Structures are given as C-alpha cells and as structure tokens.
Structure 1
Amino acid sequence: MNNDLKYDDFGNLDTDYYVEQAYAMRNAYYAEAIKSAVSRAKAFFSSLANIRFTQTPVHSK
C-alpha cells in the first residue's frame, strides 16, 4: 500500500507534524482573510470620501 502519510519513530502517525501543518494552514488563511477585510474596509471608506467631496454643497446655490 502506497501512502504519503508521515510516521514517527515508533511507527505511529506523526500527529505533532500534522498539528503543526494545520496551524500553518490556519495562520495563512487568517492572514489572507484579514488582508482582504482591510482592503475592503479601505475601499469602502475611500468611496465614502469620494462621494462626500465630489458632491456640490447645498448651500452654494
């Protein structure tokens, strides 16, 4: 049987290795999610600023 699983010195599945892999994957996911959220927040507030400063004031008529 050919599998790509990692085993420790005693022939058991190396759970420490897979736990570390899971931490790394989770950290990468969170980093990308936070980066995306910050980018969306910046775009949202930037669009609000553009709307606010491009409209003509009501009192100037």
Structure 2
Amino acid sequence: GGGDGLPRYVADDEPLAGGDLVLWYTLGVTHTPRPEDWPIMSTHRASVRLIPSGFFTKNPALTLPR
C-alpha cells in the first residue's frame, strides 16, 4: 500500500506561485518526569521554527550599505 507518494504528486509540475501553501506539522514531546512536576506539571514548552533553506543564492546582508 501507500500509493505512489511524492513522485506522483509532483509529476504534473504545477506552479506554486499564486496558490495556497498548506503545511501540516506534527509536534511530538517527550517529557522526562522530575520531582518538581509532582503533583502537577506547571509548564512545558514546545516551539516550531520555519527556516528557509537555499532561499537566497548568497547572504543578502553582504550588500547592505555600511
């Protein structure tokens, strides 16, 4: 099972410009209990950062005026 996956999805080569991009993100948290967590765990932080990779061909800050 599982279908053809990503190769089939990108086979028609549709452009992204002018379309709506959707990102489904699943965050899993593993918590190691501590004595301070008993009887109630007060807080637990989780975060997500979206960082482009290869968006620019070089660092755009190099051409900023000084």
TM-score, normalization by structure 1: 0.23
Q: What TM-score do the two structures reach when normalised by structure 2?
A: 0.22
Structure ranking higher on relative contact order (CA contacts 8 Å, 6+ apart): 2
